[in-house]
Structures are given as structure tokens and as C-alpha cells.
Chains A and B, each alone.
Chain A
Amino acid sequence: MDRDVAQALLRTMWRIRLFEERVAQLKRSLQVHGLIHLSIGGEGVAAAVCGQLRDDDAVYSGHRAHGHAIAKGVPINGVMAELMGRVDGVCHGLGGSMHLVDIEHGFMGATGVVGGNLPLALGTALTQQLSGTDQVTAVFFGDGAVQAGHFNESINLAALWKLPVIFVCENNGFAEFTSRAEHSTVERVSDVVAPYGFERETVDGSDVPAVHEAFAGYLAKARGGGGPYLLECLTFRRRGHYEGDPEKYRDPEAEQEWLRRDPIARLTERAVEADWIGSGGAVMIEREAREEIEEAVRFARESPFPDPAIAPALVYAE
């Protein structure tokens, strides 16, 4: 971790945080559409993982995908327009919040069916392995996906074929409305994969330098032909499962916990202490991100809705 990395991480995290907060507002005023799952609290994982990947590395995400897409370099204007169903969205308004794709930036896709992205990531990693490149694939999923059949099948296959894939689990302790304890007797996802024999680690997902360092180690090994690896990041899901979730299951103490587990606050404090950034610089990063998000909202609002003829034309490739 150094000054440049810390500043880049803070910049990405603020872009995600403010994007998500703005999306929450836009959802309430019905300007973004459909089920919206926000990643506030998980920005550090997205930033630390995607920030170290190249455009030609692949990332797969799930239903809570905005942060991963933004961190991987998907243009924020295109993401905002996609959420608003506009033709200038990254998928021309046909994907939406849960199905963002931007192949130019290696964001190979987000899937709305929990766990469904895991085998897709293996498929991409298999092509990377067969082609003899040093490209890698990272796949994000939550602790809820771990109980899905796809997870267990995919972990086995990735280990068996030694694929250059890094599984990044954001364990926020909830699968939708229900705590992990009600879904599994195994508390740590890194323990679930223990018998397969590949390297794995659990880190505090709000400690961004720790995530960065752990992922850097796996990434270097995967580039050199190693894999798979699993990095479990313990995160705090600041919002409900989806926007509008009444969150009746939420512990009232959670508010206090958030103060300790806000990844932006933690990294800012650390960066100021280490003199990686001045307090003015930190404010500047936030302000620039806020301007960028407002510009994205303007961009999206000005973009027209797609012509209905686009839908039948995109079902099959010629």
C-alpha cells in the first residue's frame, strides 16, 4: 500500500458509495427500475480486487454488481443509463441492474440467479488456461451462494482443473433476509472449501489494505499459472437485501457496528495518519466523485429509451 494505491482505492470507493446512494434516491422516485441491490459497505472489496486487474482480465458478479462494475472500469455514465433503462446504458437498457456487461473492460457479466455466475467464470478461466495467457478471472459472490449446488460443483471443478480463477466471497452475514447461521452450520466460507486443498483466506472486508494485500498475493500466483484461490471478505451490508427491504431482521445495534466497519472511513483515517493523503485531499476525492455521479444522472436522463425494435433483433446472432 502506498500513496497512489490508497488514493486510487479511495477514489473508487467514493465513486461506488455515491453512485449507490444516488441510485437509492432515484429508486425512491421511480427513475431507476426493478430490483436494486446496493453494495454500500462492500466498496473496499470491489475497489481492492478490481483495481488490481487489467482490462483483459475477466470479472463476473452477481445481483449486487454495481460496485464491481464501476471498480472494473465500466463507464459510470453507462451504468447509470442502464439502471434507468436508457439506450446509452452499457447493455442498451436490456440488462438492467442485475445483468451488467461490458466486455471492453472485462466485465463479463453479472447474473441475477444466485451462484449462476460461478460456472461461467470457470468457463472463461478455462479459455484463459487453454490459450496459455496470463489472464485471470475473478468471480464475486455472497455467502448465500455457498449453499447453492453450483458453488460446490464449481469449487470442485476449479480445483480439479487448476483454473486461474479467484473466488471472492463477500460474506456479509446475510443471505437475503436470513442470517448465515440459519443457512449453514459452517460459519466461514473459507472452511467450506478447505478439503479441496487450494489456498484460501478470510479477511476483514472493511480493512481495505488487508483485502488488497491478500488479493495481490493470489493474483500474482494466478498470473503465473496457479489457481484456484478463495478470498473471503467479511463485509457489512449497509442497506437491505434490496431497496425497499423493510429490514425487520436487522439488529438495532447494527448502526454502531457500521461506524466501526465503514471501509471508506477506515481507509481515510489510515491514509491521513500515514500521510498518504491530506484531509483536504480526501474531501476533494469525494467532491469529484459527487460531480461525476451528477453528470452520470444528467447523461442518463438525456439518453432516450431504446427503440422497441431492438429487443427482437438481439435474441439471436446472425
Chain B
Amino acid sequence: MIETTFVEAIARTLASAMREDERVIVLGEDVAEGGPYLATAGLADEFGRGRVRNTPISEGAVCGVAVGAAQSGFKPVVEIMFIDFITLAVDQLVNQAAKARFMSGGQLSVPLVLRTQGGSGQRNGAQHSQSLEAWLTHVPGLKVVMPSSAADAAGLLASAIADPNPVVFVECKALYFRRETVPDPPPAVPIGRANTLRRGKDVTIVALSRLVGDALQAADRLASDDGIEAEVIDPRTLVPLDLDTLAQSVKRTGRAVIAHEAVNAGGFGAELAAQLQAAAFDYLEAPIQRVGAPFTPVPVSPPLEDAYRPGATEIESAARVALEWGEYDAEPWEHGAIAAP
């Protein structure tokens, strides 16, 4: 076991993949300098600036270069520094990478990893703080991965690089520098398998990325305050989704809370809720609750951003609404449990 951080785990996994296979190349803005979060630190020194390529601020073309290199037999890992900038690369990602195999009748494959990071909490404002992963889950042909720990980041990145399909690897800037003890070397984590972090019989909390830690905190509080046993599951990959693990849990608990940092409207939680209610309708004791950000851009002023970010408190309240459903004579918002619709 070694102590590490999320970004160190990323850099070590990239180095290890580059050592094993010379077709692995890294490209993006400032990657040869290590990038603003040091996720590619040390790579240019070991592998040179031919394989670790700084690029101009040209997200569209750089993503396209990675797609072209991938369909020509290389395994590029391209970095889009903030997920907010993925808007500029979406043509290549959605119209080329995702469809190349399909439209070519299976001739092409695109073993591409697009690393990016999202999330709020650093007072960066509305163009450097978003959670846009749901857009990408809407596109057949892409895989979307969202690790919540250093160990999963390492294990899933290794799997993503080995995968013959384009994988969007969504990191979280707020998790980058938390210290964590992980196995050395960290084992590969298969894409498409959820992780149950805490067992419980009363309510299932499905949480993504940063909210996984908050879900565990909420579960601790529910247990210590009221003896409620919450089960906490991190899907880890959004596409493909391990619906089976989630549905089995909800069938046991009868209640579900879905938590992510993205705005609720059109968020991946909506897809999870739809799939879970279809898979476990007869077992549900309460409507599936969603925790997410309000329908506004991310504010920059510290108290506003803090109020905007969903966390353990919101997850705990949502779990209580799910648990107390049916005990009210009136609508739950009349008791202040949730906001009025």
C-alpha cells in the first residue's frame, strides 16, 4: 500500500501505460509541463515531447487529431483541461469518435481516452466549474467514466487506455489532492462495474464522483442519529451502466436517493431514476429522490457557490424524505422536508 492523491494516481497510471505500450501518447494544452493540476507531471521527462505533446489552445482540432491517431492504430490520451471547454471538442467527439466504428461498418475503432475534469468549489466561476457529463452519456459510441477515488482513478484509467472504444474520463478537481492509501500497483477496475461502498437495508444512495464522499458522510449521520442503515453505491461508469447492482440494492431497500453535482434538470440522475423505476417499480416504497445543483450557472461568490453545491446535508434530507414517504398527511414540502415544486 502507498499513500497517494487522485492526480498522482493519474500521472502514475499514464506513465505505466506509456512504458508498456509505445502507441500510448498524451496530448493537450500544457501537458508536457504537467498541466495546472500536475496530472501529467514527469511524463515529458521520461517519454519526451514527441509522445507527450503540448498543443495550442485548439480543443476541436486537438481532439480530432487524437481521434485520427486512434483510428490509425495509436492509443492517444487527450486532455481537455476543463470540461467546460469540451464544448469546443464535441464535434470531433460526438460526430467522429463516437460514430467511426459504426459508420465504417466495424472497420475503424477509436481507442481514445479523453481526460477532463469538472466540478465547482474553487471559486472559478460559471465557465470553469460545470458538470457536463450527462451530455456525453447521450451519445451512443462513447463510454463515460467518473471515478471518485484515487484507487478507482488509477484502475479505471488503465482500463480506459486498454479499451478499444472512445472513453471520456471525467475527473473532479475537488478530489485531486485528497490523500488516500491505495494498493501498489493499483488493480485495474473494469469499466461498467459499480462499487458498493457501504451496505445497508433501509435506503440506497447512488452517488457520483465528489458526492460519493458526501453520501458516505450522510450515511454515517443517518446511522448515528437514527440508526438508519443506508447503502452507498458508486456506479463509477455511467456508460455502460451497471444497472443490475443498483437495481438489486433498490429492490432490497425499496428507497433510492441519487446524488450528483450536475444540475438536476437533464442530469444523469434523471436517467438513473428512469432506469431504476423501470427495473424495480414494484419494490419502491417512495419516489426516487434526486440531489443535484439548482438550475442556474455556478456562482463565483464564495457564499453563493457554497450554497449552490449539493453535499452531505442535501443527501441526508433526501434520504429522510424517501424514508418518511407515506407518513405525511400533507405534501412533504408543507413540512419543510423538500422545496415546494
Binding site for B on A (CB under 8 A): 58, 89-96, 99, 101-103, 108-109, 111-113, 116, 118-128, 130, 149-150, 153-154, 156-157, 160-161, 311, 314-318
**Contact between A127 and B103, CB atoms less than 8 A apart:** no
User: How many whole Å from A138's CB to the nearest CB in chain B?
Assistant: 13
Given known A-B contacts A119-B64, A122-B61, A150-B61, A315 and B72 have beta carbons under 8 A apart: no
Residues 91-135 of chain B: 1 if any A CB is under 8 Å from the residue's CB, otherwise 0?
A: 110011001111111111100000000000000000000000000
- Number of B residues with CB within 8 Å of any CB on chain A: 43
Is B246's CB within 8 Å of the partner chain A? no
Sample of 17 A–B contacts (CB below 8 Å): A95-B103, A99-B104, A113-B95, A119-B60, A119-B61, A119-B64, A120-B67, A123-B66, A124-B69, A126-B68, A126-B74, A127-B72, A130-B25, A130-B74, A153-B58, A316-B165, A317-B165
Residues 264-290 of chain B: 1 if any A CB is under 8 Å from the residue's CB, otherwise 0?
A: 000000000000000000000000000
Chain B residue contacts of A130, Cβ below 8 A: 25, 50-51, 74
Given known A-B contacts A119-B65, A123-B69, A94 and B58 have beta carbons under 8 A apart: no
**Contact between A103 and B64, CB atoms less than 8 A apart:** no
A315 to B164, CA, bound (A): 12
Is B70's CB within 8 Å of the partner chain A? yes
Which 6 A-B pairs give the minimum distances between C-beta atoms? A123-B68, A119-B64, A153-B61, A91-B105, A92-B105, A153-B58
A58 to B108, CA, bound (A): 13
Binding site for A on B (CB under 8 A): 25, 50-51, 53, 55-56, 58, 60-74, 76, 91-92, 95-96, 99-109, 140-141, 143, 164-165
Chain B residue contacts of A317, Cβ below 8 A: 101, 106, 109, 164-165
A149 to B61, CA, bound (A): 9
**Contact between A127 and B74, CB atoms less than 8 A apart:** yes
Chain B residue contacts of A116, Cβ below 8 A: 64, 91-92, 95-96
Given known A-B contacts A89-B105, A101-B104, A120-B64, A126 and B69 have beta carbons under 8 A apart: yes
**Contact between A153 and B60, CB atoms less than 8 A apart:** yes
Q: Of A91, A96, A121, A123, which contacts B107 at CB under 8 A?
A: A91
A122 to B58, CA, bound (A): 13
**Contact between A103 and B108, CB atoms less than 8 A apart:** yes
- Counted as pairs of residues, one from A and one from B, with CB atoms less than 8 Å apart, the total is 143
**Contact between A156 and B104, CB atoms less than 8 A apart:** no
Q: Which residue of A has the minimal Cβ distance to B54? A: A160
Given A130-B51, A153-B58, A157-B65, 4 more pairs with CB closer than 8 A: A101-B100, A120-B65, A122-B61, A150-B91
**Contact between A120 and B74, CB atoms less than 8 A apart:** no
**Contact between B108 and A119, CB atoms less than 8 A apart:** no
Chain B residue contacts of A91, Cβ below 8 A: 103-105, 107
Chain A residue contacts of B76, Cβ below 8 A: 123
Chain A residue contacts of B101, Cβ below 8 A: 314-317
**Contact between A109 and B72, CB atoms less than 8 A apart:** no
**Contact between B58 and A314, CB atoms less than 8 A apart:** no
Q: Of B64, B70, B103, B105, which contacts A150 at CB under 8 A?
A: B64
A92 to B165, CA, bound (A): 20
Chain B residue contacts of A119, Cβ below 8 A: 60-65, 67-68, 92
Chain B residue contacts of A120, Cβ below 8 A: 64-65, 67-68, 71, 92, 96
User: How many whole Å from A77's CB to the nearest CB in chain B?
Assistant: 15
Chain B residue contacts of A160, Cβ below 8 A: 56
Q: Of B53, B55, B95, B105, which contacts A314 at CB under 8 A?
A: B105
Q: Which residue of B has the minimal Cβ distance to A60? A: B68
Q: Of B51, B69, B104, which contacts A109 at CB under 8 A?
A: B104
Chain A residue contacts of B66, Cβ below 8 A: 123
**Contact between B109 and A122, CB atoms less than 8 A apart:** no
Chain B residue contacts of A118, Cβ below 8 A: 61, 64
**Contact between A109 and B64, CB atoms less than 8 A apart:** no
A124 to B69, CA, bound (A): 5
Chain A residue contacts of B104, Cβ below 8 A: 91, 94-95, 99, 101, 103, 109
Q: Of A99, A124, A126, A318, which contacts B103 at CB under 8 A?
A: A99
A1 to B216, CA, bound (A): 75
Chain B residue contacts of A121, Cβ below 8 A: 68
A125 to B108, CA, bound (A): 16
Q: Of B64, B73, B105, B165, which contacts A122 at CB under 8 A?
A: B64
A317 to B67, CA, bound (A): 15
Chain B residue contacts of A316, Cβ below 8 A: 101, 141, 143, 165
Chain A residue contacts of B96, Cβ below 8 A: 111, 116, 120
**Contact between B71 and A108, CB atoms less than 8 A apart:** yes
